[in-house]
Amino acid sequence: QVELVESGGGLVQAGGSLRLSCTASGSSFSSYAMGWFRQSLGKEREFVAAINWNSQSTLYEDSVKGRVTLSRDNLENTGWLQMNSLKLEDTAVYYCALDRNTLMLRSGTAEYWGQGIQVTVSS
């Protein structure tokens, strides 16, 4: 069993930056691809980004490409979602997730989910 804990969310002005962290319990973090998702009020949860187990491959949703960078450190059991040039429409609850397969994350499927963290972008 893996527990995921997100941190780093909060309130930021449009154009600003935030870095979300996701820390996993246990020793199997390096066996999993990691993904980030978000859910805005009244909308379905959507894929944001994913990174494979050894950081050799990343996937980004089109609306965040060029503004978001996903990275991880398997020795620290932690991944980070660096978000720059934030827009009002980036306001959402952000979730990190783990799955064995990056493409499964891309499809919205994950074996483990975090509890979510709020990101609010203000004008």
Burial 29-61 (b: 16+ CB within 10 A, else e): beebbbbbbbeeeeeebebbbbbbbeeeebbbb
Reply yes or no on whether the pLDDT at 27 is more than 80: no
Considering the chain, what percentage of its residues have pLDDT values greater than 90?
97
Q: What tens digit of pLDDT does each residue of 60-107 get?
A: 999 999 999 999 999 999 999 999 999 999 999 999 999 999 999 999
Q: How far is CA 36 from CA 95, 105, 118, 123, in A?
A: 6, 9, 13, 24
